[in-house]
Amino acid sequence: MRAVARGLALDIYPLDQILEAAEVEPRDFQRWQTSPRFLEYLQSERDAWQSAGNTPERAKLKASIIVEEFMVQAHTELQDKKTPLNQRVDLFKQLCKIAGMEATTPAAGGGGGFSLQINIAPGVAPVVVQAQKVIDHDDVL
């Protein structure tokens, strides 16, 4: 019941998709529409979704859904040889960026050092450790 109430409150997908995802038969949903328990769930979910503090989350979620639904079309565009190569490459780069798989640019200067980036969790700044090559001149001689 709560999953259907949440789906209706989000108002992103049509009712038939919400019911199918929750594995609820339309006839059962017809009965729920007069159930005080379901109506309470629905009002609770609508209140939470429509709260002013939730506006950034709503926008982020809806944008994420649009991006996710575009993925199938993007895959088709990448495979279409009629689409100019530079457009397919740009699309590929954007998809890599969305997936968090961007190519990183190596630091300029060379010098024999290295940089280690540790990604702890989504939304948390990565820990970056940089080191430079040190030559002990006494060991060289």
Q: How far apart are CA 94 and CA 82, in angstroms?
A: 19
Q: How far apart are CA 65 and CA 4, in angstroms?
A: 18
Q: How many CB atoms lie within 10 A of CB 124?
A: 8
Local confidence band at 69 (pLDDT 50, 70, 90 cut-offs)? confident
Token pair for residue 5?
A: 């109430």
Local confidence band at 118 (pLDDT 50, 70, 90 cut-offs)? confident
Which helix (H) or strand (E) segment holds residue 66: the answer is helix 55-79
Domain residue spans of the chain: 1-50
Q: Is 140 a residue whose pLDDT tops 60?
A: no
Strand partners, 116: 129
**Share of residues in the chain with pLDDT > 70 (%):** 84
Q: What is the DSSP letter of 1?
A: -
Residue type at position 40: E
Could you tell me if 77 and 88 are in contact, meaning their C-beta atoms sit under 8 angstroms apart? yes
pTM of the model: 0.47
Could you tell me if 19 and 3 are in contact, meaning their C-beta atoms sit under 8 angstroms apart? no
Task: Name the least confident of 24-28, 41-45, 120-124.
Answer: 120-124
Q: Is 34 a residue whose pLDDT tops 90?
A: yes
